[in-house]
Amino acid sequence: MNMLQSSTCAMLLLTAAVLPGSAAMVAAQERAATPVHPPVATTPYRIGNFAVRLRSDTQTLASLRPDADPAFDFVPAGREAERAGDGYVHLGDLHLRLRTPDGEWRDFASARQRRPIRALPLAPGVVAAADITATMGDGIPLTVERQWIDAGGIPVLRFVLANPGTVPVEVGAMGMPMVFDNIITDRSLDEAHAQASFVDPYIGRDAGYLQVTRLNGAGPALLVLPEAGTPLEAWRPIPSEKEAKGQSFTDRSPRGQTSEGFYDWTVASTAYASREWAKADDQWNRPTGFTLAPGERRSFGVRLVQSPTIRAIETTLAANARPVAIGVPGYVVPTDLDASLFVKAPQPIARITVEPADAMTLTRAGEVNGWQRLAVRGTGWGRARVSIGYADGSVQTVSYFVTKPLDRTMADLGRFATTKQWFEGAGDPFGRSPAILTYDNDAKAIVTQEPRVWIAGMSDEGGGGSWVAAMMKQLDHPDAVEVAKLERMVDETVAGRLQVEGGPNDGAVRKSLFYYDPALHPGVYDPAANWTTWTSWSKKDAADLGRAYNYPHVAIGHWVLYRTARNHPGLVTRHDWRWYLDRAYATTVAMMRDAPHYAQFGLMEGDVFLDILRDLKREGMTAQATAMEALMRGRADHWKTLKYPFGSEMAWDSTGQPEVYAWMRYFGHQPQADTTREVILGYDPTIPHWGYNGNARRYWDFLYGGKVPRIERQIHHYGSTLNAVPLFDAFRANPADLHLLRVAYGGLMGGITNIDRDGFSSAAFHAAPDMLKWDTYSGDYGMGLYGHAIAAATYVVNDPTFGWLAYGGNLAQANGALTVSPKDGARSRLFIAPAKAWITLAAGKIASARYVPATGAITLTLDPTDAHTPAARLMVEATAPDALPYRPVRGVPERGGYTIALGRGTTTVELRTGARRKAR
């Protein structure tokens, strides 16, 4: 993301400046400019444990308050007056695209031009009903009735479509606007966390649902469940009128960084697929439509059900007779990994199909505690749709993504970044040679210039992502050729150009090496591009040192080369390990000195500062460690005073939470760490869909790092893996909370899907159904690979429902012992949950591990030595106070761990519990 300026930019759909320094002023201006609207008359109802209000004129939903928290409202009730006019959608509105034989498609929308509705007599259980045909628009060939029903204490919204004519009517598109209070505009962070909600969809046809969760992660959560015949076929963003002029299915509410906008629960979509979505990749589900014969009636509806907590969502689904699917380790499946899909449904499974047919195999593998287990194996590459047909004719779809084995995926990325994205040549006027720059996979070319100058400037997230990805790949998979190039880049381009070297600003980081100055560089800039907006920074603006978000990128470069030099002798040759650790430290100090404003916030990849601090301590660099700890303590003490310390340069963000969590844990502020963990769960779901599972909410960064710059839900932007990091840590501290592991693993593996078969890494996937494809800019992907690289691990757990499972590895059981073969993206980290043993290797790879539950014995088998890894560097941590500490029976204590010589064959290391041996 990049700092918003007050100037407008034609290609960026920004609704307001949200710089922290001016947020109060902007909010005051918005309030002053907001017209005063008369209050909207509403009618109250009591349905189960909800207090419900419907607008008296339109009978659309105006308020939905749970008894568990009567001050909270799932819908934007406080904005009802300002959203009362024509063109504002509400829950209870309807979109239809219809045609009669030999006719053209015509659109009908209940909110576009409001007209009086006709109240209908109430049948038993119906609290409000109306014929809304008149407000759908002139000439509609159907009649439309809407009912609000009390179904045994559950609110139900139901529509009845009827064909009163003499010819059939085809329904090519049908959408029910889902309007919940996701609006952050004009709210403080405390207000937003207390009042606003996020919506995540499971686009699973008849088993689909929405989960509406509060920003603070607290219960209750709201589930929107389909009635029979109301599949969640697609999840269509409702554009603003400015975005889609002349279209019928829009909303007048502005969409921007402070408001994602609303979506249609799309029941039928074939007419979209042939028009608006014609250029998209495959939809999540096959687009369908239906036809109403003369005299035919058909009903559709959704049920509004409370789940007491986010963690209880699946239990609540099962209690409401909904099909539930749980994938282990998730829905991203490397071809060398054994995966499982557990299904629990009220109807027996009649058939299972996969599209494409050669993408993967699912085999019935018995039942476990009432759940059908399906063994899953990837055989292709890319997206795959699993359709589970039930005996009653309903269909559940589960979206998977199949990848190469992760070691090959990492090799592909490293090779692509250091060859296809390698920029070198004399005469670059901006001093970017040698470098790894942003790549446009559509043009098959490096992006050497862009009006959003940072994208071509090696800094900020959109420009620094590619070289950070190449660097982070070396942490777990160092390659001599690649490391040599990265050393050159740091020595010749980062040092002294991107980063100040020497003097009073030593270690400070510039915003961009590329900039716009046609007087200084005549004839350089593409005349067809728009260089007139705030994004085309001048040389002075690009050289600014005050954006703290840029500092972790450079710190990562130094830290990875330090780790590589320290643990893989001979790979790093230009400087010794101490030089790189010193520069990582200098970068940290410079951030606090030269970029203090943004340093008050948690930063994406900010976890690297904690690793730098720990390495300074391990290396005995006491003076530096003491000074750095004091700097970081100042930030943590500030965060401790805040209820929700997750601010950023944006109004709301999902990137600062991981660093906030890390320092809260480090300095012993566990209550604040717990708050952070729950907030993450509020925007990071577990859903049976590779795109949304573990997908930490993001919807504006295509504006700053994507080739298609628009407000749009991003699938597996870098927040997915970054937010997985604290959830993994929280799980290791409390292995009973398996929800944490499932969400974290979804985010960890989601960040791998960005890497294509050639090694190109996309910024994120466009979730809107008119695209459903990867953005062709590499952009800020590297921030995501950072999260994956530091968190990739295999987890062995004893699930109370499913038994022994491995997340990230293949598990075998025999003779009372478990043997796991890691297949994760590192093979250097292993967590044995029952033992609460966190095993990490700074050098060396785990070929397999054996665990005996009855005795607690753990035995590691390590890969043979290679040219740059003569010894393994092993650390074992007990992650909870009640855990017995393990130590290896062999190895030399060193720097907080153990150095274990490796041989030409595999090396076996036995871990035993007992008094921890003091390490030098």
The token pair that represents 529 in the structure block: 């591009």
Mean pLDDT, residues 545-568 = 98
Instruction: State yes or no: pLDDT of 25 exceeds 50.
Output: no
Which single residue is written with the structure tokens 């995501």? 784
433 to 142, 545, 782: CA distances (angstroms): 65, 21, 19
φ, ψ of residue 54 in degrees (nearest 5): -110, 145
Backbone φ, ψ for residue 671 (5° rounding): -60, -40
Give the global pTM.
0.95
Query: Are the CB atoms for 590 and 598 separated by under 8 Å?
Result: no
**Res 9 pLDDT > 60:** no
Name the token pair of 252.
């007048």
3-class DSSP assignment, residue 631: helix
Cβ-based burial of 33 (10 A; exposed 0-12, middle 13-18, buried ≥19) = exposed
Give alpha helix (H) positions in 196-295.
270-273
DSSP 8-state secondary structure symbol assigned to residue 121: P
Q: What angle do CA 704, 182, 397 make, to 5 degrees?
A: 85
Give the C-alpha separation, 153 to 710, whole Å: 41
Residue 8: Cβ within 10 Å count: 10
Lookup result for tokens 């045909």: 133
Is 672's pLDDT higher than 80? Answer: yes
Cα 624 to Cα 589, 614, 664, distances in angstroms:
10, 11, 21
- DSSP single-letter state for residue 454: G
Sequence letter at residue 197: S
Angle value at C-alpha 691, between 770 and 325, nearest 5 degrees: 120
The alpha-helical segments, DSSP class H, found in 778-838 are 781-791
- Helix, strand and coil content of the chain, in percent to the nearest 5, comes to 25, 30, 45
Q: How far is Cα 529 from Cα 526, in angstroms, rounded to an integer?
A: 6
Q: Three-state DSSP class for 535?
A: coil
Question: Under a CB-based contact definition with an 8 Å cutoff, are residues 877 and 848 in contact?
Answer: no
Which of the 8 DSSP states describes residue 494? I
Give CA–CA dist 163/728, Å, rounded: 54
* 186-215: average pLDDT: 97
Query: Do residues 352 and 387 make contact, with C-beta atoms less than 8 angstroms apart?
Result: yes
- d(Cα 176, Cα 440) in Å, to the nearest integer? 37
Q: pLDDT at position 5, please?
A: 30
State the Cα–Cα distance between residues 208 and 79, nearest whole angstrom.
29
Q: What number is the average pLDDT over the span 123-151?
A: 98
Query: Which amino acid is located at 566 in the chain?
Result: R
Strands 871-878 and 857-862: unpaired
- Other C-beta atoms within 10 Å of 716: how many? 33
Q: What is the mean pLDDT of residues 350-370?
A: 97
- Collect all residues with Cβ–Cβ distance below 8 Å to 736 and sequence separation of at least 6: none
| Model pLDDT for residues 475-500, shown as the tens digit of each residue | 999 999 999 999 999 999 999 999 99
Instruction: Specify the 3-state DSSP secondary structure of 704.
Output: helix
Per the DSSP assignment, residues forming a β-bridge with 499 are: 495, 509
At 872-910, the pLDDT tens digits run: 999 999 999 999 999 999 999 999 999 999 999 999 999
Give the Å distances, CA to CA, from 455 to 388, 459, 461, 462, 513. Answer: 43, 8, 8, 5, 10
Do 653 and 676 contact (CB within 8 A), yes or no?
Answer: no
Asked if the peptide bond before residue 220 counts as cis, ω within 30 degrees of 0, the response is yes
Give SS3 for 342.
Answer: strand
Q: Which residues of 287-309 are buried (b: 16+ CB within 10 A; e: fewer)?
A: bbbbebeeeeeeebbbbbbbbeb
Distance from C-alpha of 615 to C-alpha of 628, rounded to nearest angstrom? 12
Residue 268 vs residue 31, higher pLDDT:
268
The total of other beta-carbon atoms located within 10 Å of residue 748's CB is 30
Whether residue 552 has pLDDT greater than 50: yes
CA pseudo-torsion sign 534, 538, 540, 544: positive
Residues linked to residue 649 through DSSP beta bridges, in sequence order: none
Supply the DSSP string of 138-152, one letter for each residue: TT-SSEEEEEEEESS
Is 571 in contact with 565 (CB distance < 8 Å)?
Answer: yes
CB atoms under 10 Å from CB of 522, counted, come to 8
Work out the pLDDT band at 34, boundaries 50, 70, 90: low
What pLDDT does residue 13 have? Answer: 28
Query: b/e per residue, 193-208, with b = 16+ CB within 10 A?
Result: bbbbbbbbbbbbbbbb
Q: Which residues of 575-609 are buried (b: 16+ CB within 10 A; e: fewer)?
A: bebeebbbbbbbbbbbbbbbbeebbbbbbbbbbbb
Predicted pLDDT of residue 37: 83
Distance CA 604, CA 584 (A): 16
> Is 80 exceeded by the pLDDT of residue 659?
yes
Distance of alpha carbon 331 from alpha carbon 38, whole angstroms: 49
Residues 167 and 294: beta-carbon distance below 8 Å = yes
Structure tokens at 856: 């607690």
pLDDT at 20 over 60: no
Dist. CA 893–CA 92, nearest whole Å: 67
Tally helices (H) and strands (E) across the chain.
20, 44
Give the DSSP per-residue string, 355-386: ESTTSEEEEEEEEETTEEEEEEEE-S-EEEEE
- The alpha carbons of the chain give a radius of gyration, in whole angstroms, of 28
Of 562, 540, 204, the C-alpha closest to 395 is: 204
* Strand, coil or helix: 219: coil
> How far, rounded to the nearest angstrom, does the alpha carbon of residue 804 sit from its chain's CA centroid?
28
- Is residue 757 predicted with pLDDT exceeding 70? yes
DSSP string over 95-116 = EEEEE-TT---EEEETTTS---
| pLDDT exceeds 90 at position 27 | no
- Distance (Å, rounded) from C-alpha 345 to C-alpha 392? 11
Mean pLDDT for the chain overall: 94
Average pLDDT over residues 684-704: 97
pLDDT band at 35 (very low <50, low <70, confident <90, very high): low
| Cα angle, residue 802 at apex, residues 797 and 803 outer, rounded to 5° | 50
**How many Å apart are CA 871 and CA 877, to the nearest integer?**
20
Helix or strand run (H / E) with residue 561: helix 551-567
- Reference 698, options 626, 622, 766, 599; nearest CA is 766
Contact between 742 and 749 (Cβ < 8 Å)? no
Amino acid identity of residue 106, one-letter, is: R
DSSP sequence for 845-874: -EEEEEEETTTTEEEEEEPPPBTTBSEEEE
Q: In this model, does residue 300 exceed pLDDT 70?
A: yes
